[in-house]
Structure 1
Amino acid sequence: MTHEPRPAPCGGWPSPIDAALVAAHDGRADHLRAVGEELWWTAARPEEGGRRALMRLRGDGGPPAVVLPAPWDARNRVMEYGGMPWAGAARPAGGPLVVFTHCADQRLYLLEPDAPGGAEPRPLTPVSAVGGGLRFADPVVLPDRGEVWCVMEEFTGDGPTDLRRLLVAVPLSGTAAEDRAALRELTDGTHRFLTGPKPSPDGRRLAWITWDHPRMPWDGTELRVARLTDDGRPGDPVTVAGGPEESVAQVEWGARGEVLFSSDRTGWWNLYRCDLTDDGAGAGPPAPGPAEALHAAEEEFADALWKIGMRWFAPLADGLVAVVHGRGDKRLGLLDPDRGVLTDAAGPWTEWAPALAVQGSRVTGIAASPARGYEVVQLDTATGHCRVVAARHRDPVPPGHLPRPEPRTFTGPNGREVHAHVYPPTSPDHRPAPGELPPYVVWAHGGPTGRASMVLDLEIAYFTSRGIGVVDVNYGGSTGYGRAYRNRLRGRWGQVDVEDCAAVAAALAAEGTADPGRLAVRGGSAGGWTAAASLADPDRTADVYACGTIRYPVLDPAGWANGGTHDFESRYLDSLIGPFDEETYRARSPLHHAGRVTAPFLLLQGLEDAVCPPVQSERFLAALAGGTVPHRYLSFPGEGHGFRRAETIVRAVEAELALYRETFGLGADRSETLETETR
């Protein structure tokens, strides 16, 4: 039996989606890989302090199991955003051999889950007291060599950029647990950044990707390949692909020993293969042949390499390649490289994460859609059938309370395209009162070289189910739409992103979708910069926004460029704004334009944030001292860049709703009332 929704003021609709439900469903499965016939991955645990649990799905059809109890936390802080935290190898007897990084001390640990009595993990790497210590990521377990090969990040001083990164071999025996000298260095640290090692199946070659300041990995990288000696030492490497304006995002080995890689040399990340030959003596570096495009298309077969170990494609033994591809959202497909034929997998999933695992003819990934949260999904390439094998979606609330998003392309300044996802207010019980247009919040994603995916997100539904619309903007600079689209932000961060978000907001108001007097802007990290810059730039935004939510933001690029952030992004502003110039950086800074902010705002900050340190938020508030702008500042001890703990997520979401309710005239919880004085 159905009923007609009743008219009610937007923003005050009763909803079954509370902040606790949002927190409980925060995060998703990640870091998926195969270990023989088993699947392993990490899973977020907001209710356990935000740790990531290590999960195991045996090949016997049983349910997945948590391998290690709290407080074990399978994460690392390499490049601060972390990289692939574990690896495993199947053994003929005794069960799998697994290594993982533990976030609390950043050490690499050995785990034998089937050992008698359930053996405790034992450390393989030492702790360093220098700076940020020793960190490890993207490991490869090589039982025949008795080693784990991985990326090591080693701090050499107390500053955030006092470090080196290189590939190392870690003994499985544990002899390096207290001895840094026992870590065998495979590279010499010539390059500032590199991805994890990829030994060829025959053990004769090693591939990896490098880049250096001031480039970011989506600007330009180099694919290196070296010959391996019998004792596992790389020779002189040769550059197979890449350069200052060519981004190679991933490398793998094909079924015939060829190199497979993704490159954006045409303006789109497409897949290529390259055959290698050795010199007659077999002693020199391998010689690369010409690179062959496997499926030339104006769509992306990779994305921005924010974390080491992301995997957008995976070769199968029969020569096919599983690929995650698309324009904007990413689908799973099977590519026949010899014929150039690409066939997409069937099913309701519209967004696949860069985490593919291959077992024979089976491909497993992590996928979602606007109606389904992320699930572990397996494709049988022999039958074409997909099935959920773990983390199955369960509707947390009746589907009628969930928004049905619409992908839109808006017109920005100078006629440029701006991509966005519109999430209208949705409730089975209520609709806007007669003559009422709903309020809308413009979401600006982080990065800024990143992308908002159109998938089920209970944080969005928390607002839409109460009658507040959301529009998630993939402003110029976002990935998923080719290199030219993401290069729009070069030199214009704080301008193009601000203009594009404002253009989308204005378009929704002009077409009668949103109330022009009840628009807000919201973002975290780089999106926090966009939100703050929007509020501090009334000339560019023309008073579009009634209020804003600023989460762990960049606010002062000059401070960021002068040792105020971590190494990975310490030269990011060279491309986003330009080489350091005090006047230019101050002119672009929300901090130095804080006096122009007139709209109420909420500022949320983690106190352990090494990417966007709290000092920037504190300076922003100090610049407002004595003013009359209503605002609220909430800081969270123990939280870094992005919120992981359930109690933090609950507090942040509830405070954000309170901001909109008060600003939009919907009635306020007095405990959340905005202030005009910084405390």
Structure 2
Amino acid sequence: MTAALPTAPYGTWPSPIDAATAAAHDGSPEYVGAVGDELWWTAPRPAEAGRRALIRRRPDGTEECPLPAPWNVRSRLIEYGGTPWAGAIVDDSPLIVFVHHADQRLYAFRPDTPGDGPRPLTPVSGTGGGLRWADLAVHPEHGEVWAVLEEFTGEGPSDCRRVPAAVPLDGSAAGDRTAVRELTAENHRFVTGPRLSPDGARAAWIAWDHPRMPWDGTELRVADVFDDGTFGTARTVLGGPEESVTQADWAPDGTLLALTDRTGWWNLHRVDPDSGEAVNLCPREEEFGNALWKLGHRWFRALDNGLIAVLHGVGALRLGLLDPATGEIADAAGPWTEWNPTLAGAGRRVVGVAAGARTSYEIVELDAISGHTRVVGNAHHDTVDPAYLPEARHRVFTGPGGREVHANIYPPANPAVTGEGPAPYAVWVHGGPTSRAGMVLDLEIAYFTSRGIGVAEVNYGGSTGYGRAYRNRLREQWGVVDVEDCAAVAAGLVAEGAADPDRLAIRGGSAGGWTSAAALTSTSTYACGTVIYPILDLYGWSPAGGETHDFESRYLETLIGPLDEVPERYRDRSPVHHGDRIDVPFLLLQGLDDVICPPVQCERFLAAVAGRGIPHAYIAFEGESHGFRRLDTMVTSLEAELSLYGQVFGFTPAGVPKLELTT
């Protein structure tokens, strides 16, 4: 007979998961690609000032990092970036081109050539944000690397242009902007990198313009490519204001493939590049793609044997092999429940980045012939006893009007102790808001659940993964639907006896910070909140206010409505104008280098709250931008959040500095 576990107050449970352990394992590998028989990808390095390292995996399985610190392979194009490296075999050895974060220049190097360190390919511009690059592809046959160029023409955040461009591999453009060849003269606000057909005769890319975001409406553009590498007149073959094409690429046999949501779901289509006729290869009420937040995301990859590797599903996406002749999908075996949009292919192999509820993100290879899967990089190792990890569950709750609200629930879990009665819960709100929280191992979540604080990640209306109708729920309803859906999940957990109604918190970053602040100033659901690099003032975040970057500067026209038509909405929903309504303690965390959600919005909010006697803390971090990447920042943030909960929920967390709250 098993003895009952001893009880202890929630929040005080002893846990081996300290903040440093949780922070050290933050982030995921990204941008996997094949260079000959090798695999390359970028990986987070929180302990190295948050840089992204470039990792090389040789055919024998050995891994190395050929670019030591401070080389940081990350693009700032549209601020969220995109594929920051590309490679090809040239003269029997790899040639790698990458973006260095510090100056945003393109560099090339030959890792197997002694003394051939990174050499610049592009110049530095002193105008505004300079020159930025992403979504790279090396074309040795043209002696160029093709990419998206973002060029600032003035000092304002929207004084910029973007165009597909070609950069000489010989370095002749390193000091000469005129040596960069623009591939098309057409003028779209946003573009993806051009994909060259196997015969080299055509190129395809995606374009869109303000005020649309790429999940609202985009166009698939196709142009002929001449022998000298110049493009002919481009034409739209798919897409429009209410149709989102989120990825396009060519199959080895020359077929043009595209992900479009014309059916209400992002499905994979075969597209005639002349007529634009599109054939749905696998009609399902499932997503085969997602929101294009970073240029170069790949949800499908056509293979040499005629099959197409696809990510598909409702909510979580899984890897499968689609036979375009039959429309049938054979799903890959394995424990992975979440796959990132970074599929690579080489011969009969498909390689991606995948994780599960109890495994961190790994580099996974699928043999398209045998169906065998194996981990080939970044293998998961238990850094803590798995008994301290929560048993994650996907749940569907009922929101206002009977609408479905999806959420991932992580109850408190500890093998040595338990609690009595309903537990405190923190509602976590993902960013975007056009995004989704995946159910994967996250030691930051376990940091709280192992101490007796449950976590509920809410995929509120507006989230991706559940079709266009679910995504469109947030149109002109931001600050309403998201707030209501989070409250509905909290109420559901309270009603079933899992959560204590007096010990509920809300936390989120970026758009999640907006929802958290909006909830604290418009509801009485929560006893406290953690608001991280948030949007707090809608007018400031609009083009009229000029306080954000170009990519999202017109986002509010969809989320709130046009400013000139509904100006009162911009004021009525902004937390900065309702400081008098907040009556619970809160923690505000902000990066001082953030140009997406700048510190001035936090300062304005604090001024609105000042003198009201509300306990709060504001911690601003030098050297951090949008999304914390440094180990010390993440440690401070986690410990401050736990201390806040302790002070509000009535427990003293062991080994954590007390957060000083001011009023």
TM-score by length of 2: 0.98
Instruction: Report the alpha carbon displacement of residue 120 of structure 1 after superposing the two structures with TM.
Output: 1.1
The alignment covers a number of residue pairs equal to: 658
1:168 aligns with 2:165: yes
- Which segments of 5 or more consecutive residues in structure 2 lack a partner in the other structure? none
CA distance in 2 between partners of 1:102 and 1:303 (Å): 27
CA distance in 2 between partners of 1:329 and 1:14 (Å): 32
CA contact (8 A) 1:219 1:247 kept: yes
Deviation by residue 1:349-387 (Cα, 9 ceiling, x = unmatched): 010110111111110100000010000000111111100
CA contact (8 A) 1:372 1:456 kept: yes
Instruction: Report the alpha carbon displacement of residue 288 of structure 1 after superposing the two structures with TM.
Output: 2.6
- Correspondence for 2:150: 153
1:672 aligns with 2:658: yes
CA contact (8 A) 2:61 2:376 kept: no
Instruction: Report the alpha carbon displacement of residue 666 of structure 1 after superposing the two structures with TM.
Output: 0.7
Instruction: Report the alpha carbon displacement of residue 189 of structure 1 after superposing the two structures with TM.
Output: 5.1
What is the DSSP-based 3-state SS (H/G/I as helix, E as strand, rest coil) of the residue aligned with 1:552?
strand
Q: Select the residue among 200, 213, 217 that pairs with 1:216.
A: 213
Q: Select the residue among 589, 593, 612 that pairs with 1:608.
A: 593
Instruction: Report the alpha carbon displacement of residue 318 of structure 1 after superposing the two structures with TM.
Output: 1.2
- Correspondence for 1:350: 337
1:523 aligns with 2:508: yes
Deviation by residue 1:101-147 (Cα, 9 ceiling, x = unmatched): 00000000011100024x21000000000000000111111111111
Deviation by residue 1:265-321 (Cα, 9 ceiling, x = unmatched): 010000000233xxxxxxxxxx23521100000010000000000000000011100
CA contact (8 A) 1:443 1:471 kept: yes
Instruction: Report the alpha carbon displacement of residue 668 of structure 1 after superposing the two structures with TM.
Output: 6.2
Instruction: Report the alpha carbon displacement of residue 627 of structure 1 after superposing the two structures with TM.
Output: 1.1
CA distance in 1 between partners of 2:573 and 2:338 (Å): 35
CA contact (8 A) 1:301 1:326 kept: yes
Deviation by residue 1:436-492 (Cα, 9 ceiling, x = unmatched): 211000001000000000000000000000000000000000000000001000000
Deviation by residue 1:510-529 (Cα, 9 ceiling, x = unmatched): 11011111000010000000
Instruction: Report the alpha carbon displacement of residue 667 of structure 1 after superposing the two structures with TM.
Output: 2.6
What is the DSSP-based 3-state SS (H/G/I as helix, E as strand, rest coil) of the residue aligned with 1:499?
helix
Q: Select the residue among 636, 644, 651 that pairs with 2:629.
A: 644
CA contact (8 A) 1:217 1:304 kept: yes
CA distance in 1 between partners of 2:536 and 2:3 (Å): 48
CA distance in 2 between partners of 1:383 and 1:617 (Å): 54
Amino acid aligned to 2:223: A
Amino acid aligned to 2:94: P
CA distance in 2 between partners of 1:75 and 1:252 (Å): 23
Amino acid aligned to 1:432: G
Instruction: Report the alpha carbon displacement of residue 584 of structure 1 after superposing the two structures with TM.
Output: 1.6
What is the DSSP-based 3-state SS (H/G/I as helix, E as strand, rest coil) of the residue aligned with 2:98?
strand
Q: Mapping of 1:446-485 within 5 angstroms? A: 446-485=431-470
- Correspondence for 1:509: 494
What is the DSSP-based 3-state SS (H/G/I as helix, E as strand, rest coil) of the residue aligned with 2:635?
helix
CA distance in 2 between partners of 1:275 and 1:36 (Å): 30
- Correspondence for 1:499: 484
Instruction: Report the alpha carbon displacement of residue 5 of structure 1 after superposing the two structures with TM.
Output: 2.5
CA distance in 1 between partners of 2:408 and 2:449 (Å): 13
1:10 aligns with 2:10: yes
- Correspondence for 2:70: 71
CA contact (8 A) 2:198 2:253 kept: no
What is the DSSP-based 3-state SS (H/G/I as helix, E as strand, rest coil) of the residue aligned with 1:515?
strand
Instruction: Report the alpha carbon displacement of residue 589 of structure 1 after superposing the two structures with TM.
Output: 0.3
1:486 aligns with 2:484: no
1:314 aligns with 2:301: yes
- Correspondence for 1:85: 84
CA distance in 1 between partners of 2:332 and 2:610 (Å): 56
What is the DSSP-based 3-state SS (H/G/I as helix, E as strand, rest coil) of the residue aligned with 1:181?
helix
Q: Measured at CA, do residues 332 and 238 of structure 1 come closer, stay the same or move farther in structure 2, by a change above 3 Å?
A: same
CA contact (8 A) 2:165 2:180 kept: yes
- Correspondence for 1:281: none
Instruction: Report the alpha carbon displacement of residue 676 of structure 1 after superposing the two structures with TM.
Output: 3.1
CA distance in 1 between partners of 2:46 and 2:442 (Å): 15
Instruction: Report the alpha carbon displacement of residue 671 of structure 1 after superposing the two structures with TM.
Output: 4.9
What is the DSSP-based 3-state SS (H/G/I as helix, E as strand, rest coil) of the residue aligned with 1:145?
coil
- Correspondence for 1:279: none
Amino acid aligned to 1:401: Y
1:630 aligns with 2:615: yes
Q: Mapping of 1:317-396 within 5 angstroms? A: 317-396=304-383
Q: Measured at CA, do residues 3 and 68 of structure 1 come closer, stay the same or move farther in structure 2, by a change above 3 Å?
A: farther
TM-score by length of 1: 0.96
- Which segments of 5 or more consecutive residues in structure 1 lack a partner in the other structure? 277-286
CA distance in 1 between partners of 2:346 and 2:611 (Å): 63
CA distance in 2 between partners of 1:589 and 1:88 (Å): 46
- Correspondence for 1:411: 398
- Correspondence for 1:271: 268
CA distance in 1 between partners of 2:477 and 2:419 (Å): 38
